[in-house]
Chain A
Amino acid sequence: MSILILAEHDNASIKGATLNTVAAAKAIGGDIVVLVAGEGCGAAAEAAAKIDGVSKVLVADNAAYGHQLAENVSLLVAELGKDYGYILAPATTNGKNTLPRAAALLDVAQISEIISVESADTFKRPIYAGNVIATVQSSDSIKVITVRTTAFDAVAAEGGSASVEAVGSAHDAGNSSYVREEVAKSDRPELTAASIVVSGGRGMQNGDNFAMLYSLADKLGAAVGASRAAVDAGFVPNDMQVGQTGKIVAPGLYIAVGISGAIQHLAGMKDSKVIVAINKDEDAPIFQVADYGLVADLFDAVPELNSSL
């Protein structure tokens, strides 16, 4: 059975999340075809062709797909997807926006955020903020699936030599348009791909105090995340939120600073390999998942940590 993957890309390059999704496709097994839908996306398509394990790349290069609006891309995915056994996308905001729409057009269910492939039709996925893992079996002829990227190790970005084929269909639903985007600029690694993440919570008190975490992160080559409380309070922008309803991360090292450890936060980081918690309350629930807990005032501990690295 062939597998169609909706690539995560920015026209110029392929995003790492695509490589994790190819890994999930390999676990399912079958011919892997990657769809790059965008405008002026030739470079992204070339990059997709080099991904290990990909046999073909379909490029839909058209103004209608320029900003990857779900209304338009879902029509394309539904048209092309009819001939596949599986349609996959990473569970990024892009994948989550477009794939359910394509599934509904095909009159099939979507299985959200799988964390493992048990067999051709059976998958595991977390529910209830990760407090429960469900094993689910699909009876649909086309299985539409989003992939939790942290659960699958990325395949190599190089080494493949897939053919690249243009697909002509331009679908423009005509009921939505792109206005603008505000992209958070940062020289630090991407939150979901970083091997070390330093996160701050309400205990940081304000946005200025995050400077301590940025300098710690720069010493460690880390990304910076936050709890919902820190985002809601306006300390940092929304794209930094880690948790059930934010980003899911699983770095080698996660350092939680001034974060209490609510279940919704734990849902986004408890699969990290090593967890460090710095909190002045020794009963904070974050210590229940921390490998190394430091009961201390963060305004003493973080500067000290900074100067000892």
Chain B
Amino acid sequence: MKVLVAVKRVVDYNVKVRPKSDGTGVDLNNVKMAINPFCEIAIEEAVRLKEKGVVTEIVAVSIGPKVCQEQIRTALALGADRGILIETDVEVQPLAIAKLLKAVVDKEEPKMVILGKQAIDGDNNQTGQMLAALSGMSQGTFASEVVVEGDSVTVTREVDSGSQVVKLALPAVVTTDLRLNEPRYASLPNIMKAKKKPLDTMTPEELGVEVTPRVTTLKVEPPAERQAGVKVADVAELVDKLKNEAKVI
């Protein structure tokens, strides 16, 4: 079966992002960019399913400016077979991303679409669920285990109370949680090979999808700073401060 994986280009997770001083946006000059960690887990899962013989083809899709090719190439080096870039310089919001991915799903007819549960920049945690709604697919969100059997997939989900197992008819959308797998590193030979793998580019217009934002960011600002605290010498002083100063125990 064919699997589609959505990969997003985001600021590297080690970078502490700051708003610009005029509040118009986030300072992304010379900041290191990478594949969203949850999307790396999504690719890894697809590759493992391919190694098990369940999956025959992996298509990696990214939406954004031309430079997103870098993240698609990384996905190809990790084991995806071909890439699709939907090129746009507009900041595309989750509903529009989901519509674009649906257009790709309609063309490619994958049995499963794997996405990250959330992107670590926008922190929206929406796109997979929206894609599932628009394409009428079942959804296994926040997955920590994915088992394909015949025409269904059993997904273990990380939920607030513990874990939940659901059985979904294929085609299905799966979004990854941290414990699903530990992504591999791309080897040098695979990075070289990835350069020769096919990468198609299309535009939202070609797919006939309207991407106008519904939500406008008016301003961005840093969160409230915490007052600097103190170091206590020992446990006795800590207990005393908590009892008599902070009055929290």
Residues of A within 8 A of B (CB): 67, 69-71, 74, 92-94, 96-105, 107-113, 122, 126-140, 173-184, 192, 196, 220, 228, 231-232, 237-239, 244-245, 247, 252-253, 263-264, 270, 273-276, 282, 287-296, 301, 304-305, 308-309
Contacts and interface: CB of A to CB of B under 8 A. Distances in A.
Contact of B220 (A101, A134, A179, A291): A134
Interface of B: 11, 13, 16-19, 26, 38, 93-95, 98, 117-118, 120-127, 129-134, 136-139, 141-142, 144, 154, 157-169, 172, 177-179, 214-223, 226-232, 234-236, 238-239, 241-242, 246, 248-249
Contact of A292 (B124, B158, B230): B230
Sorted nearest first, the 5 A-B pairs with minimum C-beta distance are A104-B130, A104-B133, A100-B129, A100-B126, A109-B214
B222 A133 contact: yes
Contacts of A138: 214-215
Given A100-B127, A104-B129, A274-B246, 13 more contacts: A93-B141, A97-B129, A103-B130, A104-B95, A127-B121, A132-B221, A174-B169, A175-B168, A176-B138, A181-B165, A239-B159, A276-B238, A287-B231
Contacts of A139: 214-216
B93 to A, nearest CB: 6
A59 B49 CA distance: 41
The SS class assigned to the A binding surface is mixed
Given A138-B215, A182-B163, A133 B220 contact: yes
Nearest to B19: A132
Q: Which of B17, B158, B249 has the most CB of A within 10 A?
A: B249
A93 B142 contact: yes
A175 B248 CA distance: 49
Contacts of A275: 226, 229
Nearest to B142: A93
A179 B118 contact: no
Contacts of A291: 226-227, 229-230, 246
B169 A176 contact: yes
30 contacts: A93-B141, A93-B142, A94-B160, A96-B129, A97-B129, A103-B126, A109-B94, A112-B123, A112-B124, A113-B123, A127-B123, A127-B220, A128-B120, A132-B18, A132-B220, A132-B221, A137-B218, A138-B214, A140-B214, A176-B169, A177-B167, A183-B162, A237-B162, A238-B179, A273-B248, A275-B226, A288-B228, A290-B229, A292-B232, A308-B235
